[in-house]
Amino acid sequence: MRVTVYRAPARNAHGDPVDQDGHPIRVGGNGTNVGDIDGAILGGQSVERVSTRGDVVSTEGLIGVPVAAIALEIGDTLIAEDGTRLKVSGPALWGRPHSLTGAPARYRWHQVGALHN
């Protein structure tokens, strides 16, 4: 799967994405594109039940990216070819050589959550 990586150039004191002048921006717009990653693997996703009001649901899971690809950071937005938008919410997992065999890792895995907008 191919995903496009978007990253805010800066964040304010509240963690919101802003441009160099401190104005709020939407990540995924012009100037926030970091590049594409080919060969990403979307791991199993866990879906919570809809809330009692029926208007809120959360989908989270893992995405694996080749170790030679762009290093993802917490807060990055990923947009897949089918339009699925994911936000990186955790540091890289399992990106180091295997502890028993010493074999190099081929993928880094990151916790992601689905974005609705």
Q: What predicted TM-score, i.e. pTM, was given to this entire model?
A: 0.80
How high is the pLDDT of residue 77? 92
Distance between CA atoms of 110 and 91, rounded to whole angstroms? 6
How high is the pLDDT of residue 95? 76
How high is the pLDDT of residue 101? 92
What is residue 15's DSSP assignment? S
CB 70 within 8 A of CB 38: no
CA angle 43, 4, 73 (to 5 degrees): 70
Largest CA distance in the chain: 50
> What are the structure tokens assigned to 73, written together?
């950071």
Domains in the chain, CATH or no CATH each? 3-114 (2.40.10)
How high is the pLDDT of residue 112? 93
The one-digit pLDDT tens for each residue of the chain (117 residues) are 999 999 988 889 988 888 888 888 888 766 689 999 999 998 876 656 555 666 666 678 899 999 999 999 998 999 999 888 899 998 998 878 888 999 999 999 999 988 765
How high is the pLDDT of residue 39? 95
